[in-house]
Amino acid sequence: MRILSRKNHEREKAAEKSEPAPAPVVEEPTAAVEEATDGFVVPVEPAAVPVEEELAEVEEAAAAEETEIRLKASDLLAPSRRDISDHLKPVKPEQPVDMAEVISFANQKGGVAKTTSTLNLAVALSELGNRVLCIDLDPQGNLTMSQGIDPDKCEKSMYDVLVDDVPISEVIAHREIDIAVASIDLAGAEIAMSTKIGRERSLEKALGEIHSEYDYICIDTPPSLGLLTINALTASNKVIVPVQCEYLSMRGLVQLQSTLKMIQENLNPNVHIEGILPTMFDSRTLHAREAVSILEENFGDLVFKSRIRKAVKFAEAPVRGASVLKYDPDSRAASYYRNLAKEVLSDGSS
Ligand SMILES: Nc1ncnc2c1ncn2[C@@H]1O[C@H](COP(=O)(O)OP(=O)(O)O)[C@@H](O)[C@H]1O
Ligand SMILES: [Mg+2]
C-alpha cells in the first residue's frame, strides 16, 4: 500500500468527479483512471503497451516509493509510520451532497489547541459562506465557554443527546457560530453510555437529524481516547490532529493512530486523517522548527502547510466569548485559521 500525497489525492478526486465511470478496458486513446489492487486509484495515461503491463509498472513504482518513504521514516519512527501509512487516506466514497463533512479535532494530549482550532476553523469556514455547527464533546466545556455560555447553566447538553437520545437540535445554541453545548455532567456520559447498545454510534445517530442543515460539523473532543472520542471519530469523515510544536508527542500520535485503526476496522471505514496541524509554532526557536521537521519527515504531505503561530490573542479571545476572527478580525492570528480553512477547502474541492 502506498501513501497518497495531498496533491495526488486532490487530482484523483478531481478525476473521479469529472469521469464518473471510466471503462475498465482502455481502447480509446483517452486518459483513464484505474483501480489498483491495493485499493488506491491510480491515474493511467493512454496505453501504448498492454494495460496489464502498465498496471504492473505502476504497482512496482508505488512499491518502490513506499520502501523509500519507510526507510526515511524508520530513522525516527518506523513502526508507527508504517502503521499510520496503512490508514491515512483510504479511497472513500464521495460525500452525498446533502451530508455535512464531519471533522473531529482529536489528540489525547491536553493543551495542544484542539478547542482553539475547532472554534477558529469553524468560524473561518463560516466566513467563507459555509453553514457550520460546532459540537462540544469535552466535559470541561471550554468550547461552550469560548462562546460565552456557562456549561453549568445549560439545561440540556450533549449528555442528554448521547445518553437519553434527546434530539441534538435541542442543545444547539446560536451564537457567533451554532454550537451543541457541553455541560459538566458530560463527564458521566461514558459510564452512562457503557451499557447502551450501539454506544459507539450514539453521536452518528444523533447527527442524522441535522446532517443536511450544515456543510461542516466540527467536533471538539476531550483529551482522552475514551467513548466520547470514539463516538466523535465514528461519526466523522475527517480528523484534524493539532500538535503543539513545543511538546511534540510522537507517542501520543501513535496511540491516536491505533484507536483510529480500530475504528476504521470496526465502526467507520471512511474516517481518515485530514491533516496534522502544527500549533503554537514559534519560528524563532530551534525547538519548534525541529518539531515541524520531525513531523514532516514522518508524515510528509499529511502535515498542513498552514502554521498556527503562537499569539497571545488566542488566550484573550475565549475570555471575551469570541473566536479570534471576531475578537480581532484583522490580526495575524485570525489569518492563520483563514489560511487553514482555505487549505481544508482546497483538499475537498479541487
Ligand atoms: N496559537 C496559540 N498561541 C498561543 N496560545 C494558544 C494558541 N492556541 C491555543 N492557545 C492557548 O493554549 C491553551 C490550550 O489551548 P486549547 O485550545 O484549550 O487546547 P486543548 O483543547 O487541546 O486542551 C489555551 O489557553 C489557549 O488559549
Ligand atoms: Mg479543549
Strand bridging mode 238-244 / 101-105? parallel
Is the CB of residue 272 below 6 angstroms from any atom belonging to ligand 1? no
**What is the residue whose three cell numbers read 447502551?**
196
- Rounded Cα distance between 184 and 157, Å, is 9
- Rounded Cα distance between 138 and 106, Å, is 11
User: 248 alpha carbon to ligand 1 midpoint, in Å?
Assistant: 15
* pLDDT score of 144: 98
- Rounded Cα distance between 13 and 10, Å, is 5
Is the CB of residue 142 below 6 angstroms from any atom belonging to ligand 1? yes
Measured by CA distance, the residue closest to atom 11 of ligand 1 is 315
Residues of the chain with pLDDT under 70: 1-97, 348-350
* pLDDT score of 92: 47
Pocket test for ligand 1, best of 314, 320, 328, 335 (most atoms within 8 A of CB): 314
User: 31 alpha carbon to ligand 2 midpoint, in Å?
Assistant: 47
Please, are residues 239 and 264 in contact by the beta-carbon 8 Å criterion? Answer: no
* pLDDT score of 246: 84
Length reported for the chain: 350
User: 134 alpha carbon to ligand 2 midpoint, in Å?
Assistant: 13
* pLDDT score of 250: 83
Is the CB of residue 247 below 6 angstroms from any atom belonging to ligand 1? no
Find the helix or strand (DSSP H, E) in which 52 lies.
Answer: helix 51-85
Ligand nearest to the CA of 324: 1
Give the domains, in start order, of the chain with CATH numbers: 6-77 (no CATH), 101-349 (3.40.50.300)
Is the CB of residue 308 below 6 angstroms from any atom belonging to ligand 1? yes
Ion ligand 2 — residues with CB < 5 Å: 114-115, 142
The two most distant CA atoms of the chain are separated, in Å, by 70
Measured by CA distance, the residue closest to atom 17 of ligand 1 is 113
Ligand nearest to the CA of 244: 1
